[in-house]
Structure 1
Amino acid sequence: MTNLARRAAIASVCSALLLGALKAWAAVQTGSVAMLASLADSALDLFASLVTLGGVHWAAQPADENHRFGHGKAEALAALFQVVVIAVSALAILVRAIQRFQSGDVAAAPESGIAVSLVAIAVTLALTRYQAHVIRQTGSVAIGADRIHYTSDLLLNAAVIAALVIDAWGVRGADPVFGIAIAFWLLFGAWRASEAAIDQLMDKEWPEAKRAAFVEVAARNPALKSLHDLRTRSSGNRDFVQFHIAMRPSMTILEAHDVVEALEKQLCEAFPGTEILIHVDPEGHVDEPDNPMTEANLLKDN
């Protein structure tokens, strides 16, 4: 999975290099502020993709003495860095578009900008489809953030084409107006990209459906009497779960150990890439849990 995420990050870097070179040429040819905004976005894509590549590499490093839970949150940090870069670029584009709107200049050589934007759409579409495949396989939040702003590039390049066409028809102000719209779209994309990263850094619980599915798998073990204090979180492409279970007080330590081992194997097969910590309580001696996210007695109901 780590190699797959790394290949996706390398593909992003290569795409950003190609598109940045093409858009730099088109921006010089056309003088379009919308194309300039698209060029700035591609330059930031390259910068952000390099950060993503570094974040994915760092997150893949095994746990060490100072990071017992691994380095998975490096992906979330890389994603947040991308958010900051995207937001700053959007504000710069917004200022440039307003200046262009006030000056009333018209873009030149629109055919060059249109051709480059069409190539950019084709390359970006291929990249985002590959990224979607990688995200399904790895759950990488850094690649997810990368995909969000590359997906926004599809709309951005379509907007550049529309701006250049309308400008060529002699409609004054179309190019900077589209530039302003692109800037706000980038800000919206930055906000969306920040959500998943913040959720990981804040150790947000799994979605309720995933928690319920986890409990359902655990309920298949007949030795368990109840499950409570279920706590879940994600870090990079790994999940972490801890919970308490109640079993017969008459069981020996060896018997309880065998049950826990079997349960861990069962859960890890259903939820690969998950680190599980289980605490055993004797049935009838379980204190009422303080955790509001308790799953107490769910197993009894199944």
Structure 2
Amino acid sequence: MSATPTRAAIASVCAALLLGGLKGWAAWATGSVAMLASLADSLLDLVASLVTLAGVRIAAQPPDAEHRFGHGKAEALAALFQVALISVSAAFIAVRAVQRLAAGEVAAQAESGIAVSVVAIVVTLLLTAYQRRAIAASGSIAIKTDRLHYQSDLLLNAGVIAALAAEQYLSLTGADPLFGIAIALWLLWGAWRGASEAIAQLMDREWPEAKRRALVEVAAREPELESLHDLRTRTSGSQDFAQFHIHVPGTMSVAAAHALVEKLEQRLEAAFPGTEILIHVDPAGHVDHPGDTLREADEIEQLKE
């Protein structure tokens, strides 16, 4: 079965349901704040995974009359919703850990919590491996953010094991809530990274410089292309967009200019599958935006420098 974003999102929902049930029992049995934090995280994983599923399904819909550029930004919105949930989860964990630390409470029945955490680590490893395949195939930002959260769960579950073992077997009172606070801080860091990428998509941030340069390099291999300017790129979900202007001789016929554009589009689409390419033709010497060096700079000349 191929690892599509939708199937990866369904796998996340199933994993969250399984782990939520196991951790709910373990939190009740042990009274551990670290396990409670892990339970809260898994419950939020469930909500986040459901939102991710909705996001990738909406993003996969083809363009329509009201969304001519497609629905890819639904993934970034889903990612931001996940970030909000992660932040709430981290705040709850931190508050509960401080309360537990102040009260001097000690976790019990460490064996149950440790066993559940080991199972959680195995399930999470399998899920993140499957998500990695989906990301490689689609570039989905929603699945990427979901995977980031589940990767943090690996440390979270390892932290729960360490906290329970430290309190139960090493008699290190306070280890459990301290690990809870550390987990909360780690979740906040993950939320910040996820938010940064989602906001970059919503703000139509340019591709990374290396990817932009690679596109120019591919375009420059076309013998008839002399210049390329006003290159603008963006990403929406798993869909990439690139548009630019080219100069052609003023005497070139419309048919010849069209044929050149067709060859360029085919060359670029082969090198960047799934990218929508839009090329505008200008007669040689024409300046669209006088004085705007950002838009008029010749990308091919810059490549040679």
TM-score by length of 2: 0.95
Matches within 5 A, 1:177-256: 177-256=178-257
1:286 to partner: Cα distance: 3.3
The verdict on how the C-alpha distance between 1:270 and 1:23 changes in structure 2, with shifts beyond 3 A counting, is same
Of residues 284, 292, 295 in structure 1, which corresponds to 2:294? Answer: 292
2:166 is aligned to 166
The verdict on how the C-alpha distance between 1:100 and 1:294 changes in structure 2, with shifts beyond 3 A counting, is farther
The verdict on how the C-alpha distance between 1:173 and 1:220 changes in structure 2, with shifts beyond 3 A counting, is same
SS class of match (2:241): strand
Residue 8 (structure 1) aligned with residue 8 (structure 2): yes
The verdict on how the C-alpha distance between 1:290 and 1:300 changes in structure 2, with shifts beyond 3 A counting, is closer
Q: Distance in 1 between matches of 2:299 and 2:204?
A: 25
Matches within 5 A, 1:28-39: 28-39=28-39
Q: Answer whether contact 1:226 1:300 (CA < 8 A) is retained.
A: no
SS class of match (1:232): strand
* Amino acid of the structure 2 residue aligned with 1:135: I
SS class of match (1:153): helix
1:299 to partner: Cα distance: 5.2
* Amino acid of the structure 1 residue aligned with 2:104: G
* Amino acid of the structure 1 residue aligned with 2:255: L
The verdict on how the C-alpha distance between 1:102 and 1:289 changes in structure 2, with shifts beyond 3 A counting, is same
1:135 to partner: Cα distance: 0.8
Matches within 5 A, 1:81-96: 81-96=81-96
Q: Distance in 1 between matches of 2:285 and 2:82?
A: 51
The verdict on how the C-alpha distance between 1:65 and 1:150 changes in structure 2, with shifts beyond 3 A counting, is same
1:129 to partner: Cα distance: 1.3
Q: Distance in 1 between matches of 2:187 and 2:3?
A: 29
* Amino acid of the structure 2 residue aligned with 1:26: A
1:285 to partner: Cα distance: 2.4
* Percent of pairs with identical residues: 65
1:110 is aligned to 110
CA RMSD of superposed structures (Å): 1.5
Spell out, residue by residue over 1:196-216, the C-alpha distance to the aligned partner (whole angstroms, 9 max, x if none): 101100000000000000001
Spell out, residue by residue over 1:163-212, the C-alpha distance to the aligned partner (whole angstroms, 9 max, x if none): 00011022111111111111111111111111110110000000000000
The verdict on how the C-alpha distance between 1:232 and 1:121 changes in structure 2, with shifts beyond 3 A counting, is same
SS class of match (1:275): strand
Q: Distance in 2 between matches of 1:279 and 1:289?
A: 19
Q: Answer whether contact 1:76 1:197 (CA < 8 A) is retained.
A: yes
Q: Distance in 2 between matches of 1:187 and 1:246?
A: 49
1:260 is aligned to 261
TM-score by length of 1: 0.96
**Unmatched 5+ stretches in structure 1:** none
Q: Answer whether contact 2:9 2:53 (CA < 8 A) is retained.
A: yes
The verdict on how the C-alpha distance between 1:227 and 1:57 changes in structure 2, with shifts beyond 3 A counting, is same
Q: Distance in 2 between matches of 1:149 and 1:218?
A: 38
